[in-house]
Structure 1
Amino acid sequence: MVARLATRMLLETDKRALWKFAYNFGFKGMRSVQKYKKRLKEGVYFPPFLFISIINSCQLRCQGCWVDVASPRQMIPLGELDKLITDAKRHGNSYFGILGGEPFMHPGLLELLGRHPDCYFQIFTNGQLITDEVAKKLRRLGNATPLISIEGSEVVSNERRGGKDVLNKTLAGVENCVNNKLIVGVASSICQTNYDLVSEDWLNRLIEMGVHYVWFHTYRVVGPEPSPELALTPDQVVSIRRFIVEMRTKMPIGIVEPYWDDRGQALCPMSTGVSHHIGPSGAIEPCPIIQFATENIHDGPDVYQLMSKSEFLDDFRRTSAEATRGCVVLERPDLVRDLVHRHSAGDTTQRGTALAELDRLEPRGSQHSPGAEIPEKQWLYRFAKKHWYFGFGAYT
């Protein structure tokens, strides 16, 4: 599997882009985690991976979306983004997840990538704004991979994404990326209406399309219109984990999931401190679906000082890890509410209803299923998770 995937990457992608991926993301990313582990010994928490929602606007209206995509445009200006990434680089960070809304609606996105050729960016996008011209620019830059959301068939895509002809428009973006030899990923939020994507047939189709990696994440019942009928059952979540582990041993496509360690135990990237989120207002949040904050990147000192000294983030990590290895928002919304009240954290949404939405959530299962752990079988994934992506001592 590793040899076949490596062959695909060598033959199908731009060599400069592949080098940037290997060095900026691979080597420097591992170094970022080592610096993080060293800081932990000193009791300092600053995540090696930052996720930044650079804009709230989007042309789609997805079911269960927690972003204020229909509200007046809110975005982090290019200058602030530049400073944020520069500050994080001083502490060893080299990888940044870029989210929205739709990131390609931000007028400064490509310039931002160009200002930081020593970093690697994963852009979470619906792909519809990736024209051939945009894909050519991404190839010239070489330091970004588009992670394009596909939610199923044309009917399911229109329903899930709240648009018309969604799948064809998205596939056109995928094709532009593949034709320009980018490293291309596809993400799917798995729920009741698109569970059929968890299949070898779907992975084979992606490979035929020229996609290099896939990210399966389970649907999160959050936001102003959470659509609980789409939520997966605990057995379905375990089945997804089993499918991922098996496919990693046989399919020449990378499979991303940050929700289990090498032994198959659940983990939460926020609880371990390996990542936090910055919203389009500049608010520093525990993770993208927890829209509360006590700090903002516009408040004064650099992001390192704000995050590493945040009592809110520290309490959130500790309380969450003590309660569950899974998603605290899904399993214990009452704890999230208590943390918000305890720290007088502000609602970072434009709609101003995040606390009321939290009050309405009913506890449900997440990826934490004690007794149903499925360890990694493929040696490379097992090794990487064991050394660079695990619990970091967060769980007792």
Structure 2
Amino acid sequence: MMKVTEKNIANRETDFLIVGQGLAGTMLAFELHRRGKNFVVVDSPSGEKVSRVAAGIINPVVFRRLTKSWLVDDLFPVLKDTYHELEKLLSCHLLHTLKINKILGKEEGSFWRTKTVENKLEAYIHTEPNTYFSKNGIVAPYGVGKVFNAFRADLPMLIDRFREFLIQEDRFIGKEVDTKDVITENEKVQWKNIAAQKIIFCQGFRASDNPFFQPVKFKHTKGQVLDLNIPDLEITNMVNKGMFVLPLGENRFRAGATYRWEFQDTNPDDEATAELTGKMEKIVKVPYSITGKRAGIRPTTHDRRPVVGLHPDTPEIGIFNGLGSKGAMLAPFFAREFARLLCGESDTIHPEVNLLRYYGKK
């Protein structure tokens, strides 16, 4: 089908106009597609997306305290269903099973055993650490704790394939959206030649500049990863100790990630590279070469929770943002919850992510 342009969408009407086709916009569009809704996605063809940088790691455990990730028992069934449905739609493999070896310190073995039972983690990790772990090139003198129920989502492939799908369906516009062009009247919203019931902003870190959501307390973080070639590193599972080293096959690895709350741009920088290579030297003891450096800005809020919902004074305008470093795990669940609200299947949003928390309302 023909790509949607301003010329061929004159006076077009739709149920929903989604601004942004990163992870949030893609997942929300997919949920609306599953419900047979009419929608259009508009996004800059050259827009920077942290989804293209993120490794897409879905880890059910917070290693620092050895607790479950927030809402993981609810998130996992939805994310498995969603990624598998997307795989069918897009004819590609998106969700890869992942095992994680957490390199333990001298006193961490007993902590691992105790917390696994205390925090009911048996569905995700092995109770007993592997004290005999030995892989050429990896330093783990006190063994590893093993996470057996984790995943890696191929987010760049998801974004690219879903964009192709949108273009084929005549539902994509490659344009920047200036909020000055967004007009609300008669319980509808107008942007250029498109009239919609609602416009949903999924702009990533650019949401900070959106005048419709100024009360939202964004606190974005910059992250950097390295692409590596390590011929002598004999691991097939991810290792983690203050950073991750993820095998991608054929001697290729990805390592990361940094977290910076103060930054000037989205470019990789030497300071972040030095931080990662310094941590690498404590884990990997074989030669490696850096084949690439990538950085992006994670859309994050002050309380590290997503922000989802409709504007309390102008419900024709909504937002789906703030997925942060766990976006691959959070996006499917909250996209489905938001779609249920938008389609009249539900009248609630989880209170910890609800946009109304920034407006003093519940």
Q: TM-score range by the shorter chain?
A: under 0.3
Instruction: Select the structure with the greater relative contact order (CA < 8 A; seq sep ≥ 6).
Output: 2
- Taking structure 1 as the reference length, what is the TM-score of the superposition? 0.25
- Taking structure 2 as the reference length, what is the TM-score of the superposition? 0.27
The structure richer in strand per residue is 2
The structure richer in helix per residue is 1
**Structure number, greater radius of gyration:** 2
